[in-house]
Copies of this chain bind each other. A is one copy, B any other.
Amino acid sequence: MPRAGLTPQAVVREAARLADEVGYEKLTLAAVAGRLGVALPSLYKHVRGADALGQQLAALAVAELAAEMTSAAAGRAGRDALRAVADAWRGYAGRHPGRYPAAQQVPDPDDPAHVEAGRLALDAVYAILRGYGLTGDDAVDAARTFRSAVHGFVTLEASGGFGLPRGMDRSFDQLVAALDTAFRNWPDPVGAR
């Protein structure tokens, strides 16, 4: 029997492909092994286990997403940038329905690439907000608002939580426009609750 010639990379990439096909929740070491033409335990030569594979998949997905966000933001500002980044985000989630949920895990502090990718994605958001004059605590709040809105939309859309998929593009455009409105008129925080 010739060697399959696997590497940790190859395993993670195959897992990513498989996740996009069958869904993240159905991603299984057994299925990945089958895809790679290898017995299940053989994977342990390349990944530490199912949890670790999930983490590495997250790192891959966050890096890809951050790259697309960053590239979407390049050469744009203000509302254009906002919309381009939001569209890139939604586009990534739509094209990678298995990777996207994986990307939601908190970055593994022991994986510098993962942490760095997360920072990059966040930077893309902060860069947009700077265009609206939002900095400091306002930027923190606004960034959380942006992430919440886009992530929430994308998640609900993917799960079918919105009901019939009528007018999804329009609704997303309106969500982005609403964010633009809110960022241009960012509310002064009221004192302690």
Given contacts A173-B189, A181-B185, A187-B178, contact A153 B148 (CB under 8 A): yes
A residues 53-109 with Cβ under 8 Å of B?
104-106
Contact call A142/B185, Cβ cutoff below 8 A: no
CA distance A145 to B147 in the complex (A): 12
Contact call A189/B175, Cβ cutoff below 8 A: no
CA distance A148 to B169 in the complex (A): 14
Contact call B170/A141, Cβ cutoff below 8 A: yes
CA distance A183 to B181 in the complex (A): 9
Q: Which of B141, B149, B169 contacts A152 (CB 8 A)?
A: B149
Contact call B178/A182, Cβ cutoff below 8 A: yes
CB-CB under 8 A from A137, the residues of chain B are 167, 170
Question: How many of chain A's residues touch chain B, expressed as a range?
Answer: 35 or more
The stretch from A2-10, A34-42, A157-165 touching chain B is: A157-165
Q: Does A13 contact B (CB under 8 A)?
A: no
> Least Cβ distance of A35 to chain B in Å?
24
Q: Which of B105, B149, B169, B190 contacts A145 (CB 8 A)?
A: B149
Q: Does A50 contact B (CB under 8 A)?
A: no
A residues 126-167 with Cβ under 8 Å of B?
137-138, 140-142, 144-145, 147-153, 155-156, 159-162, 167
> Least Cβ distance of A1 to chain B in Å?
37
Contact call A175/B106, Cβ cutoff below 8 A: no
Q: Which of B106, B145, B155, B181 contacts A155 (CB 8 A)?
A: B155
- With both beta carbons as reference points, the residue of chain B lying nearest to A175 in the complex is identified as B145
CA distance A173 to B191 in the complex (A): 10
> What 13 new A-B contacts, CB under 8 Å, besides A144-B153, A152-B152, A155-B155?
A106-B159, A106-B160, A137-B170, A141-B167, A145-B153, A145-B174, A147-B156, A147-B161, A173-B193, A177-B187, A178-B182, A178-B186, A185-B185
